[in-house]
Amino acid sequence: MPDTVAAASGVQPEPASTVDYRLVRTHVLHRLKSGTRMADDVCDAHPELVRAGREVGSAAGEPCPVCQGDQLALVSYVFGPRLPAHGRCISYPTEIAKLARRKGRFTCYEVEVCPECRWNHLRRSYVLQPC
C-alpha cells in the first residue's frame, strides 16, 4: 500500500496508532464476489467524496477492485482540535505537515474511492507525528 500523503509531506504515522483496514476490505470484496453483498451496498460513495477523489485525491497505484477502472484515488481527512467537525480534506501534502506541527492530537483517515463506480473504503487511520 502506498504511503501517499503522509510520505509526501514529511509526516509519519505514530506507529502504535495505525489501524489498517485491509482485512475488512478483503472480506467485503470476497462477499461481493460471492454474491452475498451487492455492488450497490459497497459502491455508495458520497458525492463529496467522489469529488474529492477526482480533484484532490492521489493515485492509489492500483485498479479499482470492483470495476477495474484506473481512477482509484486516495483521499485523506484529518480530524483534531480547531478543525471542522467533518474533518479537513487534505488538498496538498504540505497541509498535513502543517497540521502535524500544531499542538494537539490529529488523526488522519485515508479513504480509497473510485470516481467511476463509487467504490469506497477506509484504508487506514493513524495519529500524525512530524518527522
Q: Considering beta carbons, is residue 64 or 111 the nearer one to Zn ion?
A: 64
Q: Considering beta carbons, is residue 5 or 32 the nearer one to Zn ion?
A: 32
Q: Considering beta carbons, is residue 5 or 42 the nearer one to Zn ion?
A: 42
Q: By the 8 A CB rule, do 75 and 57 touch?
A: yes
- φ, ψ of residue 117 in degrees (nearest 5): -110, -5
Q: By the 8 A CB rule, do 32 and 39 touch?
A: yes
Interacting residue with Zn ion among 11, 45, 64, 73 (CB under 5 A): 64
Count Cα atoms within 13 angstroms, Cβ side, for 36.
6
Fill in the per-residue mask, 92 to 111: x = in contact with Zn ion (CB under 5 A), - = not in contact: --------------------
* Residues at the site binding Zn ion, with contacts judged by CB under 5 A: 64, 66-67, 69, 114, 116-117, 119
